[in-house]
Structure 1
Amino acid sequence: MSSLISGKDADIVEAPAVPTFREATKLWAKIGLLSFGGPAGQIALMHKELVEDRRWIGEQRFLHALNYCMLLPGPEAQQLAIYIGWLLHRTIGGLVAGVLFVVPGALVMLTLSILYALYGDVPLVTALFFGVKAAVLAVVVEAVIRIGRRALKNRLMVVIALCAFLGIYVLAIPFPLIVLMAGFAGWVGNRVAPALFSGGAHGNNDAPNIRGAVDLMFERGELAHTRPTRWHAPRTIAIWLPIWLGPVLLLWAFTGTSSVWTQIGGFFSLMAVVTFGGAYAVLAYVAQAAVQSFGWLAPGEMVDGLGLAETTPGPLILVLQFVGFIAAFRHAGSLDALLGGSLGALLTLWVTFTPCFFWIFLGAPYIEALRGNKALSAALGAITAAVVGVIMNLALWFALHVVFREVRMTGLGMNVPVLSSIDWRAALLSVAAMVAILKLKTGVLPTLAGCALAGVLLLAAGG
């Protein structure tokens, strides 16, 4: 049954009934199965289902929650689902929303990883992934443009993005430091020149006044769990840190420091803390470590993994599951390779996604208390602009390894292509994929399928 509540910009606004836990569970399962297209597509899907169609959450609360999730390390789309599930049905609602957002894609990704490990060196499979890589490059470029349009509202935001790109590509500044610098710039800028920083974080100030069931619950005093208490932080830390890190410590104790299990658990737990800016920002750092530091994968295989992740529902960061599977598959020791790879994938999933629940359950009550804080919005806007620069770096990294057969490192630590090693077939496919996605507005899955088929034909024609 709907209720009537007063609206700020209208005399009376009809608010929908608060969804039952069963209704919410069915919707989270639907979102988990249909969440293709990367973070932007997933966020757009949630906005349509939760704000526009059902009005379970209002526009302002949705964007406020999204801003916080963009600030966190890890996959922002899954964290947004956890946040809204928590708003609607407390901790159990957040758990169900977060788990259902990941599980369908994780099962598909595990299947694809097994097929890749067993048949990846088959010429046909190699040709298919040759085409997929070109499509992935187009997807990443499209992400730069899409997120850039949303985040770079003025020239100052463009400057922040360029500084972030140069900082990570030329100066090799760690991404967490870039995030801190951008956030500090936004906070200071809000005091010095607020007009340049206002509305930078996803356009909060221009959002329509769509109200939802959560607003009705708030007015009725039914959202007591969103108000932080004295014991909230210590209790959350005491519960979730052992859940997250307990398995990693046990593996370290039983298998030793040098085992692949300890390396996977430790490395991806670290990623959960330091990789800000969502999936695309994570990938550049993980690719460098997995390829150069640990030797788990070759550069091209990291792009293959992203191509697999693009074909599955759920967070793009599921590519980390692929990395964990391949690492354990190739270093399973006395275990069967497939069993070892599957356990590596499960461990990667655990240490990658468990922290998402920790960040939301720990910080969401305090973020709810800061709704309307202009300094926080300005800091978030500057951070989002910096993330655009980091994604530009990722796009360049992919382009170098897809279009050129050889890449060398300069004395400054920058990767540059060996121009004579250009692969005209990869370049042609990449251009075609960009035209399909950017100009013709072809979806990700049709573009991936078309490029995979084209890759087979091109390699067959070239012998």
Structure 2
Amino acid sequence: MPKYSLKQLIIYFLKLGTWGFGGPVALVGYMHRDLVDEKKWISEEDYKEGLALSQLAPGPLAAQLSIYIGYIHYKILGATLVGIAFVIPSFLMVLCIGYAYVSYGGLPWMQAIFYGVGAAVIGIIAISTYKLTSKSIGKDKLMWLIFIVLAVTTFITEQEILWLILLGGFVMWFVKAPPKWLSSGAQGILPTLLVQLQPLTAEHKLTQIAWFFTKAGAFVFGSGLAIVPFLYGGVVKEYQWLNEQQFVDAVAVAMITPGPVVITVGFIGYLTAGFWGAVVAALATFIPCYLFTVIPAPYFKKYGKHPGIKAFVDGVSAAAIGAIAGAVLVLGKRTLIDIPTSLIAEASAAALFQLKRLQEPFVILGAALIGILLKILIQ
């Protein structure tokens, strides 16, 4: 019997969706800290299986992990309600921001806030990645090697390479639990060639939004951050729904609001076609990742304890965490643009490391105020 009720889990994810700043790296770290380490609702093995499945399947990492955690003890109902609870707070927030953005002709104050918040976010996700790495990888030298390879390649290429993540799993499998035979029943991956399909020939903008964001949810691998280049190519270059500045503002909205970063699709949808544009964009993005989580979940639960599969999951987990660490470095390179932002990031990380009970929202609020003050002083 689980140590928690479904209601308790839903309330937790409502809170995480409301207060969980820092993007996918921080969010998966919070889930581990809260549900595995502190509350002990979820076992380390179940968490690793969920992280591995979330990394292997296309779609936003944090949202998929939340769905899997809901599935562990409460199956489809748990996965569905937890997924909704996690996403809905940030969706409502981006709707409000989208309304203000359209009504008042932009958000000139947002860049000032993001100047400080973006730097603090780097500090937050750096600490989260450190804790996740030390807890999940331990002293296993092979897992550390896989971690380092993925961190370096992710930093150099600035993208998460799926085949390397899979290779990490196969390396652990063949070294730790060599198979006696090769199974022909391995899960296939949907061919990415489908991404190249032409948009549906429909005049209605909502249909175009549904088609484009379904592709975004179904064919973009990695964390919520990985979806940003795909979105840029579609909404700015192909469809020209947003201009360059609007798209930058959309990414800023995603970074300064709690919950999954990929919720920026709601803001983009709102700017493109109002309230229903936001609803369609969000549903089209999240439904594929929901299906890619709950459909294979029973097989992960049933066969996850097999030595070969366990070794494969360990390897994928090490690779996934390495890719996350590399993403932290990429984000840091882009966000920490001067001495003040570097100091804010370092101070945020140090505060969270030293003050165990300090909550991230207070760090975010302090950084936002510092960002505004600095911008006023600079101008």
TM-score, L = length of structure 1: 0.63
How far did 1:39 drift?
A: 2.2
How far did 1:175 drift?
A: 2.0
Question: Equivalent residues in 2 for 1:198-347 (5 A)?
Answer: 252-255=200-203, 262=208, 265-266=211-212, 269-276=215-222, 281-283=223-225, 285-291=226-232, 294-295=235-236, 296=242, 297=244, 301=249, 304-309=252-257, 312=258, 314=259, 316=260, 319-326=261-268, 329=271, 332=272, 340-347=273-280
Distance in structure 1 (CA, Å) of the matches to 2:168 and 2:111? 41
% identity of equivalent residues = 25
How far did 1:358 drift?
A: 1.5
Question: What is aligned with 1:107?
Answer: 92
2:11 is aligned, of 30, 40, 48, to 30
1:141 is aligned, of 126, 131, 137, to 126
1:449 is aligned, of 357, 365, 369, to 365
How far did 1:451 drift?
A: 0.6
Q: 1:389 to 1:301 in 2, by over 3 A?
A: farther
How far did 1:452 drift?
A: 0.6
- Kept in 2, the 8 Å contact 1:135–1:447? The answer is yes
- Kept in 2, the 8 Å contact 1:157–1:382? The answer is yes
How far did 1:130 drift?
A: 1.6
How far did 1:450 drift?
A: 0.2
Q: Which has the higher contact order (CA 8 A, sep 6+)?
A: 2
Distance in structure 1 (CA, Å) of the matches to 2:37 and 2:144? 29
1:381-401, Cα deviation, whole Å (9 max, x unpaired): 222222233223322322222
1:337-391, Cα deviation, whole Å (9 max, x unpaired): xxx1433432232122212331233212222321421111211222222223322
- Kept in 2, the 8 Å contact 1:128–1:453? The answer is yes
1:60-114, Cα deviation, whole Å (9 max, x unpaired): 6566555544543334554455445545555344323332332233222322343
Distance in structure 2 (CA, Å) of the matches to 1:439 and 1:96? 35
Question: What is aligned with 1:373?
Answer: 306
| Letter paired with 1:189 | V
Distance in structure 2 (CA, Å) of the matches to 1:382 and 1:147? 15
- Kept in 1, the 8 Å contact 2:48–2:314? The answer is no
| Letter paired with 1:42 | M
Distance in structure 1 (CA, Å) of the matches to 2:217 and 2:95? 20
- Find the structure with the greater CA-based Rg: 1
How far did 1:186 drift?
A: 2.0
Question: What is aligned with 1:214?
Answer: none
How far did 1:131 drift?
A: 1.2
Q: 1:120 to 1:183 in 2, by over 3 A?
A: farther
Matched, 1:188 2:174: yes
Q: Which has the higher helix share?
A: 2
SS of equivalent residue, structure 2 residue 295: helix
How far did 1:447 drift?
A: 0.7
1:41 is aligned, of 30, 37, 51, to 30
How far did 1:136 drift?
A: 1.5
| Letter paired with 1:31 | Y
SS of equivalent residue, structure 1 residue 74: coil
Q: 1:455 to 1:352 in 2, by over 3 A?
A: same
Unpaired runs of at least 5, structure 2: 21-26, 180-186, 188-193, 237-241
Aligned residue pairs, count? 347
Matched, 1:353 2:286: yes
Distance in structure 1 (CA, Å) of the matches to 2:232 and 2:64? 28
| Letter paired with 1:91 | I
Q: 1:129 to 1:363 in 2, by over 3 A?
A: same
SS of equivalent residue, structure 1 residue 126: helix
- Kept in 2, the 8 Å contact 1:135–1:433? The answer is yes
- Kept in 2, the 8 Å contact 1:325–1:342? The answer is no
Q: 1:110 to 1:391 in 2, by over 3 A?
A: same
SS of equivalent residue, structure 2 residue 202: helix
Distance in structure 2 (CA, Å) of the matches to 1:126 and 1:155? 43
| Letter paired with 2:143 | M
How far did 1:138 drift?
A: 1.4
Question: What is aligned with 1:152?
Answer: 137
Distance in structure 2 (CA, Å) of the matches to 1:28 and 1:289? 32
Q: 1:341 to 1:387 in 2, by over 3 A?
A: farther
1:176 is aligned, of 142, 145, 162, to 162
Superposition CA RMSD, Å: 3.8
Bigger mean CA offset, 376-385 vs 289-298? 289-298
1:131 is aligned, of 98, 103, 116, to 116
How far did 1:453 drift?
A: 0.5
Distance in structure 2 (CA, Å) of the matches to 1:388 and 1:272? 22
How far did 1:288 drift?
A: 2.9
- Kept in 2, the 8 Å contact 1:133–1:303? The answer is no
Distance in structure 1 (CA, Å) of the matches to 2:346 and 2:39? 36
SS of equivalent residue, structure 1 residue 252: coil
SS of equivalent residue, structure 2 residue 314: helix
- Kept in 2, the 8 Å contact 1:287–1:302? The answer is no
Distance in structure 2 (CA, Å) of the matches to 1:403 and 1:261? 39
Bigger mean CA offset, 99-108 vs 68-77? 68-77
Q: 1:179 to 1:391 in 2, by over 3 A?
A: same
